[in-house]
Amino acid sequence: MNPVYSAINMSKQYPSFTPPSAPIATPLVQLWLLRMLVRLGAHAKFILRGGFHCDRIAEAIGLGHMIDTDGEEFSPAIAKSTLRRLHLQAEANAIARPETLNVDQPLASNLQGLANLVGLSNDEQRILSFVVQLHNNRLLDDAADMIGPLTSLKAIQSLSDLLDIPLENVRKAFESQGTLSGSGLVSLDRRNACQLRGKLDLLSDTFSDGMISSEATALSLLKDMVRPCTPPDLSLADYTHIQLMVDVLKPFLEKAIQTSRKGVNIFIHGAPGTGKTQFVKCMAHALGVNLFEVASEDEDGDPVGGPYRLRAYRAAQSFFSTARACILFDEVEDVFAAHDHNSRSSAQSHKAWINRCLEENAVPAFWISNSIDCLDPAFVRRFDLIFDIPVPPRSQRLRILDKHCTATIGHTIRNRISENTQLAPAVVAKASSVIRTVESSLQPAQLEAAFELILANTLKAQGYKPVNKDPSIGATVRYNPSCTNADADLADLATQLKQTQSGRICLYGPPGTGKTAYGHWLAEQLEKPLMVKKASDLISKYLGETEKNLANAFRDAEKDNAVLLIDEVDSFLQNRESATRSWEVSQVNELLTQLEAFNGVFIASTNLMGQLDAASLRRFDLKIRFDYLRPAQANDLFERYCTQLNLNDDGSNSLELAGQHKLKQLNTLTPGDFAAVARQSRLRPLRTQQALVNALAQECALKPGARQTPIGFLVA
């Protein structure tokens, strides 16, 4: 500080100086105002030729008598001289009576409580106190504006002069390692030159109000930024499809919390609605810890940007460092993902801090995203665990439906809805909540229809196929491997694949024999999503695009830990010896290359086994033939569909026996024929078992090689 403004010198020069009028500000605020005007040079804009720039500031510092002096000419020189004397006297009073500079309640108590909670030094407390009052006191704000725009360095120097804090201490307070800045309480804008208030940004818009409140708490100070999570709607028992990860994560977190281990970070990804947030809530509940979420929007519903969410996270880490707690950072795309190719994400812009954060955070943190792609590889290695939460298998989806749905939603409807492979727990929970709300206003049939409509609209909005409302789905018998004529034990194969988690299987045989259906059933048994790709999905008219599509299919399947099924694989694995174009060879080569590198479960299906490249067949672990139904299998499916379609026996045992006999004569019958007839029943209802037999016979008659003459027993 300039010696000319030494408090000792001031007291000697002006021992009895008394301001002409009483100030309207506290001694501390008055001192800050005078220092801004004198030390920081704001007087140049404050004292004008004909008066003061702000009369309220003049009154506050004791210059009120010079306002509107009854026609007397205003003297800038006298005003400046009086201002200097007022400043020197205030400095002298600060030395003589330091107790007058104490912060008023409840701010003083809140500052002390926050200092104890976060670990602020005395200088950091003084800086925070000033910034809070700068944001709350119009006089301070107006006076600071008259200082003019400040760079970061000038802002630090100004705080040093204003608060009589050594310059180096102020500088350290605003370093990322410092408690004040590192906790996110006060941030220094280092990019723009602006007014002092704009350079010193508080944690949130409501933080300064909270600090002067008599009811301030840690949570109230974090208002709009961090909030306690609501209790979970599910339990860990709803996540048996990731049981191994549950068994690893729970004891890991228990030990980490018990030992106060630092740098515990868990990254969870998965499609929207798969229950990622619910899983974290369930885990926190099972551990018996408080869970706090970094808000993505404020109380008004306005989004909170990535940089501010990072500050909120920093504050939460500081506030709850000694509590038995975990922190949830959902929708991390705001932080880790760039808006476009020409910009950097918030995390990339604060890479060094993010790295330290992931290595030194005191409170275990869960980071949630819809996709792992947003995560910079440089950050990946700093997470303790990274895993995805897929859509639950069908059995799990059905249990979730049974848990959330009211009695008005029948089991048949639930069973049909559970067939949707994209049906996530959160989607079910939301739809069920709506139905429970309107349950008393609608009839049971209306409630079921409304439930399906809500689910369908949500799935459609997510980019998925809606819940299939085709009545035939309810009439289609669920797949059973015992009703498939294959030259391998399909159930045993599923058991083996569940152990190995990898395999390359080729399924071949006539259309409708259950090849694709087996793929769906197998994925369900393995509790993995199924990714089905048809030739039309992959083949492109552009050179090289088909190969790229094939590569992407394998990549996506591996990323999602999905069973990959390529239907009509003969479109890609044609015999290379007969190829006439280079791209025909390159497609085969690309598929074989991807197949060899793929570590998951791959299924290829074809109706044209004889056209496949001979070399490609060696790449498959198993080649399984699917054939027409054996008589016992056909009879079993017939009984199942009769039950499902509620078909009677016409009251004639002889007619029933005749139908059964004619069924045995259909030696090209497939499971697909039964499914096709069930779909046809929407337009041509089947009312008897005999009608079902007749419809099946018609399906068989249309197959290549079948007799085209009418079959005698088709007449009812």
pLDDT (average), residues 693-710: 77
Q: What is the tens place of the pLDDT at every residue in 44-59?
A: 999 999 899 999 999 9
Name, in order, each residue with C-beta under 8 angstroms of 437's C-beta and a sequence gap of 6 or more.
none
Q: Which of 38-42, 324-328, 603-607 has the lowest mean pLDDT?
A: 603-607
Q: What percentage of the chain carries pLDDT values higher than 70? A: 86
**Which has more pLDDT, 597 or 560?**
597
Instruction: Look at 425 and 359; give whichever has higher pLDDT.
Output: 359
d(CA 260, CA 268): 22
Q: Decide which of 572 and 510 is more confident.
A: 510
The pLDDT score that the predictor gives to residue 470 is 47
Phi, psi of 30 (to 5 degrees): -60, -45
Q: What are the Cα distances from residue 230, in Å, to 235, 322, 329, 330, 589?
A: 13, 21, 14, 14, 53
Q: Give residue 327's Cα distance to chain centre.
A: 14
For residue 184, what pLDDT band results from cuts at 50, 70 and 90? confident
Phi/psi region, residue 561 (left: phi>0; alpha: psi -120 to 50; beta: rest), is left
Q: How confident is the model at residue 714 (pLDDT cuts 50, 70, 90)?
A: very low
Q: How confident is the model at residue 690 (pLDDT cuts 50, 70, 90)?
A: confident
Q: Sorting pLDDT into bands at 50, 70 and 90, what band is 703?
A: confident
> Rounded to whole angstroms, how far apart are CA atoms 469 and 412?
12
Is residue 185 a contact partner of residue 315, using CB atoms and an 8 Å limit?
yes
Highest mean pLDDT among 219-223, 231-235, 475-479, 542-546: 231-235
Determine the pLDDT at residue 24: 67
The highest-confidence range among 133-142, 237-246, 664-673, 677-686, by mean pLDDT, is 133-142
For residue 473, name the pLDDT band (cuts at 50, 70, 90).
very low
Whether the predicted pLDDT of 250 surpasses 50: yes
pLDDT in tens, 663-678: 878 889 999 999 999 8
Q: Look up residue 472 and give its amino acid.
A: S
Which tokens hold the place of 703? 């197959």
Note the pLDDT tens digit of each residue in 559-569. Answer: 778 899 988 88
pLDDT band, very low/low/confident/very high, at 23 (cuts 50, 70, 90): very low
Task: Flag the least confident range among 345-354, 483-492, 688-697.
Answer: 345-354
pTM (2 d.p.)? 0.64
pLDDT band of residue 14 (cuts 50, 70, 90) is very low
The answer to whether the peptide bond before residue 232 is cis (omega within 30 degrees of 0) is no
User: What is the rounded distance in angstroms from the CA atom of residue 511 to the CA atom of residue 608?
Assistant: 10
What is the structure's pLDDT at 4?
30
Whether 427 and 459 have beta carbons less than 8 Å apart is answered as: yes
Mind listing the pLDDT tens digit for each residue in 428-469?
888 888 988 998 888 888 888 898 889 888 888 877 766 655
Work out the widest C-alpha separation in the chain, in whole angstroms: 128
**Mean pLDDT across the chain, nearest whole number?**
83
Q: Which long-range contacts (CB under 8 A, 24 or more apart) does 675-680 make?
A: 675/472, 675/476, 675/512, 676/512, 677/641, 678/472, 678/475, 678/476, 678/641, 678/644, 678/645, 679/470, 679/472, 679/476
- Comparing CA positions, the residue from 655, 629, 644, 650 lying closest to residue 678 is 644
Handedness of CA 279, 282, 286, 289 (dihedral sign): positive
* Residue partners of 623: CB distance under 8 A and separation at least 6: 505, 506, 508, 617
The pLDDT confidence band at residue 489, using thresholds 50, 70 and 90, is: very high
Band of pLDDT at residue 314, cut at 50, 70 and 90: confident
Beta bridge partners of 150: 194
**16 confidence band (pLDDT: 50, 70, 90):** very low
Cα–Cα nearest to 481, from 520, 511, 532, 527: 520
Nearest-angstrom CA–CA distance, 570 and 591: 11
Number of H helices, E strands in the chain: 36, 14
pLDDT grade for 581, boundaries at 50, 70 and 90: low
End-to-end Cα, the chain, rounded Å: 111
Q: At residue 340, does pLDDT exceed 60?
A: no
- Summarised one tens digit per residue, pLDDT across range 73-123 is 889 999 999 999 999 999 999 999 999 899 988 999 989 988 888 889 999
**d(C-alpha 337, C-alpha 348), whole Å:** 9
Which pLDDT does position 2 carry in this prediction? Answer: 36
For residues 400 and 374, the model is more confident at 400
pLDDT band at 655 (very low <50, low <70, confident <90, very high): very low
468: amino acid identity, one letter: N
Mapped onto helix, strand or coil, the DSSP state of residue 602 is strand
Tell me the three state secondary structure of residue 227: strand
**Cβ neighbours, 10 Å, residue 96:** 10
